[in-house]
Protein backbone atom coordinates (compact mmCIF):
# COMPACT_ATOMS: atom_id res chain seq x y z
CA UNK A 1 0.00 0.00 0.00
CA UNK A 2 1.49 3.35 -1.00
CA UNK A 3 0.59 6.28 1.24
CA UNK A 4 2.93 8.77 -0.35
CA UNK A 5 4.73 8.65 -3.63
CA UNK A 6 8.08 7.70 -2.04
CA UNK A 7 6.97 6.20 1.27
CA UNK A 8 6.04 2.53 1.27
CA UNK A 9 7.54 1.05 4.44
CA UNK A 10 6.62 1.70 8.08
CA UNK A 11 10.22 2.81 8.69
CA UNK A 12 9.83 5.42 5.96
CA UNK A 13 6.58 6.63 7.51
CA UNK A 14 8.17 6.93 10.94
CA UNK A 15 11.04 8.94 9.45
CA UNK A 16 8.54 11.21 7.70
CA UNK A 17 6.60 11.65 10.95
CA UNK A 18 9.80 12.42 12.81
CA UNK A 19 10.74 14.97 10.20
CA UNK A 20 7.35 16.59 10.66
CA UNK A 21 7.86 16.90 14.44
CA UNK A 22 5.32 14.33 15.57
CA UNK A 23 7.67 12.84 18.14
CA UNK A 24 5.89 12.56 21.48
CA UNK A 25 2.46 11.91 20.01
CA UNK A 26 1.04 8.58 21.09
CA UNK A 27 1.60 5.74 18.64
CA UNK A 28 -2.14 5.05 18.66
CA UNK A 29 -2.80 8.47 17.12
CA UNK A 30 -0.11 7.93 14.52
CA UNK A 31 -1.44 4.50 13.53
CA UNK A 32 -4.98 5.85 13.32
CA UNK A 33 -3.88 8.79 11.19
CA UNK A 34 -1.59 6.74 8.94
CA UNK A 35 -4.57 4.67 7.81
CA UNK A 36 -5.88 7.59 5.76
CA UNK A 37 -2.89 9.81 5.06
CA UNK A 38 -2.76 10.32 1.31
CA UNK A 39 -0.54 13.35 0.87
CA UNK A 40 2.03 15.60 2.48
CA UNK A 41 -0.82 18.07 3.13
CA UNK A 42 -2.62 15.39 5.20
CA UNK A 43 0.57 14.81 7.17
CA UNK A 44 1.01 18.54 7.75
CA UNK A 45 -2.60 18.83 9.01
CA UNK A 46 -2.07 15.92 11.42
CA UNK A 47 1.16 17.55 12.64
CA UNK A 48 -0.59 20.85 13.34
CA UNK A 49 -3.42 19.10 15.22
CA UNK A 50 -0.95 17.08 17.29
CA UNK A 51 1.13 20.14 18.14
CA UNK A 52 -2.03 21.98 19.26
CA UNK A 53 -2.94 19.06 21.54
CA UNK A 54 0.56 19.10 23.00
CA UNK A 55 0.57 22.88 23.42
CA UNK A 56 -2.54 22.72 25.61
CA UNK A 57 -0.59 20.56 28.07
CA UNK A 58 2.71 22.46 27.92
CA UNK A 59 1.74 25.76 29.47
CA UNK A 60 2.26 29.40 28.72
CA UNK A 61 -1.44 30.22 28.44
CA UNK A 62 -3.18 32.94 30.41
CA UNK A 63 -5.47 30.55 32.31
CA UNK A 64 -4.61 27.15 33.72
CA UNK A 65 -6.65 24.10 34.77
CA UNK A 66 -4.90 21.58 37.03
CA UNK A 67 -6.47 18.20 37.73
CA UNK A 68 -5.39 16.11 40.73
CA UNK A 69 -4.12 12.82 39.33
CA UNK A 70 -2.76 11.13 42.45
CA UNK A 71 -3.85 7.56 43.11
CA UNK A 72 -6.90 8.74 45.03
CA UNK A 73 -7.87 11.16 42.25
CA UNK A 74 -7.57 8.51 39.57
CA UNK A 75 -9.61 6.08 41.67
CA UNK A 76 -12.29 8.77 42.07
CA UNK A 77 -12.52 9.38 38.30
CA UNK A 78 -9.93 12.07 37.51
CA UNK A 79 -9.02 10.54 34.14
CA UNK A 80 -12.59 11.00 32.92
CA UNK A 81 -12.55 14.55 34.30
CA UNK A 82 -9.38 15.45 32.36
CA UNK A 83 -10.86 13.98 29.19
CA UNK A 84 -14.10 15.92 29.70
CA UNK A 85 -12.14 19.17 30.14
CA UNK A 86 -10.10 18.53 26.98
CA UNK A 87 -13.20 17.50 25.00
CA UNK A 88 -15.13 20.61 26.08
CA UNK A 89 -12.20 22.86 25.22
CA UNK A 90 -11.88 21.24 21.80
CA UNK A 91 -15.63 21.52 21.22
CA UNK A 92 -15.54 25.23 22.05
CA UNK A 93 -12.21 25.76 20.25
CA UNK A 94 -10.54 27.15 23.38
CA UNK A 95 -6.78 27.45 22.95
CA UNK A 96 -5.75 30.04 25.55
CA UNK A 97 -5.98 27.63 28.53
CA UNK A 98 -3.35 25.17 29.69
CA UNK A 99 -4.52 21.82 31.11
CA UNK A 100 -2.06 20.02 33.37
CA UNK A 101 -2.08 17.47 36.14
CA UNK A 102 -0.64 17.24 39.61
CA UNK A 103 -0.09 14.48 42.12
CA UNK A 104 -1.75 14.04 45.47
CA UNK A 105 -2.46 17.24 47.42
CA UNK A 106 -3.64 15.47 50.57
CA UNK A 107 -7.36 16.10 50.14
CA UNK A 108 -8.36 12.57 49.17
CA UNK A 109 -11.91 12.86 50.50
CA UNK A 110 -12.60 15.69 48.01
CA UNK A 111 -11.27 13.98 44.86
CA UNK A 112 -11.43 14.49 41.94
CA UNK A 113 -10.05 17.99 42.45
CA UNK A 114 -9.76 20.66 39.75
CA UNK A 115 -7.87 23.92 40.32
CA UNK A 116 -8.49 26.92 38.08
CA UNK A 117 -5.89 29.67 37.90
CA UNK A 118 -6.73 32.94 36.19
CA UNK A 119 -4.77 36.21 36.19
CA UNK A 120 -5.74 38.66 38.90
CA UNK A 121 -7.84 36.16 40.87
CA UNK A 122 -7.05 33.64 43.59
CA UNK A 123 -6.85 29.95 42.77
CA UNK A 124 -10.27 28.24 42.79
CA UNK A 125 -10.42 24.57 43.83
CA UNK A 126 -13.40 22.53 42.71
CA UNK A 127 -14.17 19.32 44.61
CA UNK A 128 -15.95 16.05 43.78
CA UNK A 129 -15.74 16.94 40.09
CA UNK A 130 -17.52 14.69 37.62
CA UNK A 131 -17.12 14.84 33.84
CA UNK A 132 -20.37 16.82 33.61
CA UNK A 133 -19.19 19.27 36.27
CA UNK A 134 -15.87 19.58 34.42
CA UNK A 135 -17.70 20.61 31.24
CA UNK A 136 -19.66 23.23 33.20
CA UNK A 137 -16.47 24.52 34.83
CA UNK A 138 -15.09 25.14 31.34
CA UNK A 139 -18.24 26.85 30.10
CA UNK A 140 -19.08 28.89 33.20
CA UNK A 141 -15.73 29.62 34.85
CA UNK A 142 -13.20 29.52 32.02
CA UNK A 143 -15.34 31.14 29.33
CA UNK A 144 -17.67 33.38 31.36
CA UNK A 145 -15.54 34.00 34.47
CA UNK A 146 -18.26 32.84 36.87
CA UNK A 147 -17.10 30.71 39.80
CA UNK A 148 -19.51 27.88 40.66
CA UNK A 149 -19.42 28.44 44.42
CA UNK A 150 -21.30 25.33 45.54
CA UNK A 151 -18.60 23.09 44.02
CA UNK A 152 -15.60 24.86 45.54
CA UNK A 153 -13.45 24.12 48.54
CA UNK A 154 -14.01 26.87 51.11
CA UNK A 155 -10.94 27.76 53.14
CA UNK A 156 -11.22 29.38 56.54
φ, ψ (nearest 5 deg) of residue 47: -60, -45
- What pLDDT band is residue 27 in, cutting at 50, 70 and 90? very low
CATH class of domain segment(s) 59-151: alpha beta
Tens of pLDDT along 131-143?
A: 999 999 999 999 9
DSSP classification of residue 115: E
Q: Where are the domains of the chain?
A: 10-56, 59-151
Cα gap 99→63, rounded to integer Å:
9
Task: Tell me how far apart the alpha carbons of residues 114 and 69 are, in angstroms, rounded to a whole number.
Answer: 10
In this prediction the pTM is 0.63
Residue 87 near residue 137 (C-beta atoms within 8 A): no
Would the pLDDT of 33 be above 60?
no
Amino acid sequence: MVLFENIVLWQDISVALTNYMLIGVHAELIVTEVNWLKSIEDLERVRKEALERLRIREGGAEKRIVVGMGTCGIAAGARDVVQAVLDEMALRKISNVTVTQTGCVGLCEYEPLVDVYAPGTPKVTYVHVTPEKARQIVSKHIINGRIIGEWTLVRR
